[in-house]
Amino acid sequence: MNTVGYIHSFESLGAVDGPGLRFIVFMQGCPLRCLYCHNPDSWERENARYKMTVSEVYEKIAEYKNFITNGGVTISGGEPLLQAKFCEELIELLNKNKIKTAIDTSGIIGLDKSKRAIQLCDLVILDIKDIDDEGAKKLTGAGIKNAQKTLEFTRDIQKRVWIRQVILEGYTLDEQKLIRLGRYLSDFDNIERIELIPYHTMGVKKWEEIGVDYSLKEVKPPDENKMEKAREILKRFERIKEKVR
């Protein structure tokens, strides 16, 4: 377990990235450039705050084992599957020690690299950036083909999945897109939860710190009324209506 991981940060007791209380490992490095990214300091792998082996990361997690028995460990990012081998080895070690695992991913990494880690974990949290390929490219710099293939693979192996999508005015806050999203997700019987997350501006200061222009300065976060309307659109689809949050 000597593979070295490039790590952005840790959160010892997270309550939103998977079920129960969880230890979160935020990996460093991401090939996407999401316009709303709240951790742009996690983009470049070489800027990692920590370089640690799998064993060293496990030792850190083990200190909290008694607190996460009803939850587990979530490997997030950045894009965790950019470091797929590290993820595989850490999940194998956590599985051996009976600690539940989740991967929080954009699905951007091809299955030729990501498949094994997905097979090993207990839960995949998949961020669907935009249901339209061109919209995803505009929003993140890349399309959604790999994310779709990732979701299809999870269905093939019946891996538990949570879906996330950021709701953003002018991009994903669009009735027709939400209808297409609902129709698409209805084809997957392994999805347990669908979370619509309101866009926020908490990462703007970090963009300023790294000297990159933040192009969404004039875009306001959606209010609760707009968020509820977005949820109601997805709830029109019988198969997923009870899963929408």
Judged against a pLDDT cut of 90, whether residue 211 lies above it is answered with no
The model carries a pTM of 0.96
- The residues pairing with 51 across neighbouring beta strands, listed in sequence order, are 6
Please state whether beta strands 4-14 and 22-27 pair in parallel, antiparallel, or not at all (unpaired): antiparallel
Return the pLDDT at 137: 97
H helix and E strand count, the chain? 8, 8
| Residue range 22-39, pLDDT digits in tens | 999 999 999 999 999 999
| Cα angle value 102/234/164 (rounded, 5°) | 25
Label residue 183 by pLDDT band (50, 70, 90): very high
What is the arithmetic mean of pLDDT over 155-166? 98
Whole domain around residue 195: which residue ranges? 4-243
CATH number at residue 61: 3.20.20.70
The burial class, CB within 10 Å (0-12 / 13-18 / 19+), for 176 is exposed
The confidence score (pLDDT) of residue 29 equals 98
Mean pLDDT, residues 204-231: 93
Q: What is the mean pLDDT of the chain?
A: 96
Amino acid at site 122: D
Spacing of C-alpha 42 from chain mean position: 14
Output the pLDDT for position 159: 98
How confident is the model over 132-146, as pLDDT tens digits? 999 999 999 999 999
Predicted local distance difference test score (pLDDT) of residue 203: 82
Q: How many domains does the chain have?
A: 1
